[in-house]
Amino acid sequence: MTTPELQQAYSQAYGRPAEKIFFAPGRVNLIGEHTDYNGGCVFPCALSFGAWLLLSRNSDNVLRFRSLNMTDTYEIPIDAIRPQGNRAWCNYALGCIDIIMRRHPEAKLMSGYDLLYYGNVPAGAGLSSSAAMEVVTARAFTEEMDRKGAELPCGYTDDKAYRTELAKISQLCEREYAGVMCGIMDQFASAQGKKDHAIYLNCDTLEFEHVPVKLDGIKVVITNTHSPHHLDSGAYNDRVRQCQTAVEQISKVRPIKHLAELSEDDWAQVESAITDPIAKKRARHVVGEVARTAAAVEALKKGEIAYFGELMTASHVSLRDDYEVTGLQLDTLAEAAWQVDGVLGSRMTGGGFGGCTVSLVKDEAIERFKAFVGKEYEEKTGLKADFYVAEIGDGVMRLH
Ligand code: GLA
């Protein structure tokens, strides 16, 4: 939808135009999966699709929530901001507002608001529609609740530091209001994205670098499983716990804070300390994935795209065999992609258990790729896949 169309929808909902409009993108992760909450590196890009938030103040001291994607609406008094039951979608926004107030005691809601959300990230696709909603809310409400009137909200003078704070607020929202013990990758990518660049982020220190994604004659293609299993917070949180078990067991022979501290050589020395076989597999993935991510970033910088693709494929194999977060749908898509001439690499992206794959495909092979992967997928799963050529966009912004 265009901005004028969104304004029209806002006027229809609330009888007047919105005072402000904000946008935050979804993301696709090129490599570095399930490393963020293990203190490792990730390499995501912001996408051109995401979440929009239109708002105006009201004089009723309530937050009114509407979405063009959802039928449920909510009206929450501004002095009663707490999680709403039954998986209410407004939790992703309420959590951000609550956390802004906790982290920035000077920030106060000075009035109610009439809010309208719209998202075009395919739902359940593992492309961070929830992070986009959190980050757009954090961006809007840090500005709205700021009483200092400085150039950037919450007293920030540095745009990068401000955007990192938006990512932290949003990650806490996901943890506390949605119960997913996630790392910071998704929210960080949505906050710090840059057009035609990927973000090489160290999730321990939050230092990062924008790396140009220059792929001559090659596209980043996202394929959606449309699988009914989407990111299951239970299975995700299990992985987080299994990695903690591995850290505890390794720490008996060598104290570590995070699995990502271990190089592959260190791993050979400490792996026997992990007595739990599941925890050992999970840790082996993390150590290997951290090394692959660093190698992939170097390869991209040197223009060695074929090697980058091989590392993506190795990442999928490890997520399939050691981390066990792929499943029939994602494996079918990736394994079909590997067979297509002109595909440099293909892997699942995001949390797993359904969602999307990301592939590097030569321009001349794109139609062949879609036809072959689409056919294999339908034959093996009975589902239809969808393909999008990724456009790498900027991070959160105010549009109006
Ligand atoms: C989900 C989480 C992220 C990250 C990925 C896996 O997207 O929200 O924090 O852990 O899974 O890499």
DSSP H helical ranges for the chain: 3-14, 91-103, 129-144, 159-178, 185-192, 233-251, 264-270, 277-302, 305-321, 328-338, 366-381
* Ligand 1 centroid distance, CA of 35 (Å): 8
pLDDT, residue 123, reads: 81
43/139 same-domain check: yes
Residue 348 in any domain: the answer is yes
Nearest atom within ligand 1 for CA of residue 37: 10
Would you say 19 and 56 are in contact if contact means Cβ atoms under 8 Å apart?
Answer: yes
229/197 same-domain check: no
Mutate to test the pocket of ligand 1, among 28, 31, 36 (most ligand atoms within 8 A of CB): 36
Q: Share the mean pLDDT of the chain.
A: 96
* Ligand 1 centroid distance, CA of 185 (Å): 6
- The first and second tokens of residue 166, run together, are 């938006």
pLDDT for residue 387 is more than 60 = yes
Q: What are the Cα distances from residue 276, in Å, to 32, 55, 262?
A: 24, 51, 18
pLDDT for residue 93 is more than 60 = yes
Would you say 282 and 323 are in contact if contact means Cβ atoms under 8 Å apart?
Answer: yes
327/195 same-domain check: no
What's the domain range around 122?
A: 3-212
* Ligand 1 centroid distance, CA of 20 (Å): 30
Tell me the pLDDT tens digit for each residue of 338-375. 999 999 999 999 999 999 999 999 999 999 999 999 99
Mutate to test the pocket of ligand 1, among 37, 182, 242, 319 (most ligand atoms within 8 A of CB): 182
Q: What is the CATH number of the domain that holds 130?
A: 3.30.230.10
Residue 398 in any domain: the answer is no
- Catalytic residue of the set 186, 196, 266, 331: 186
Tell me the pLDDT tens digit for each residue of 23-81. 999 999 999 999 999 999 999 999 999 999 999 999 999 999 999 999 999 999 999 99
* Ligand 1 centroid distance, CA of 286 (Å): 13
**End-of-domain residue from the set 157, 192, 212:** 212
Give the count of domains, the chain: 2
39/163 same-domain check: yes
Q: Which residues line ligand 1 (CB under 6 A)?
A: 33-34, 36-37, 182-183, 185-186, 350-351
295/161 same-domain check: no
Nearest atom within ligand 1 for CA of residue 184: 9
Q: Rounded to an integer, what distance in angstroms lies between the CA atom of residue 347 and that of residue 331?
A: 9
Residues 6+ apart with CB under 8 A from 364: 217, 342
Q: What is the CATH number of the domain that holds 289?
A: 3.30.70.890
Task: Say whether 186 is catalytic.
Answer: yes
45/147 same-domain check: yes
pLDDT for residue 308 is more than 80 = yes
Using H for helix, E for strand and C for coil, what is the string for 33-75? CCCHHHCCEECEEEEEEEEEEEEEEECCCEEEEEECCCCCCEE
Tell me the pLDDT tens digit for each residue of 221-264. 999 999 865 556 799 999 999 999 999 999 999 999 999 999 99
**End-of-domain residue from the set 169, 192, 212:** 212
Tell me the pLDDT tens digit for each residue of 145-183. 987 777 788 888 899 999 999 999 999 999 999 999 999
Q: Rounded to an integer, what distance in angstroms lies between the CA atom of residue 255 and that of residue 273?
A: 12
Radius of gyration of the chain (CA): 21
Mean pLDDT of 377-390: 97
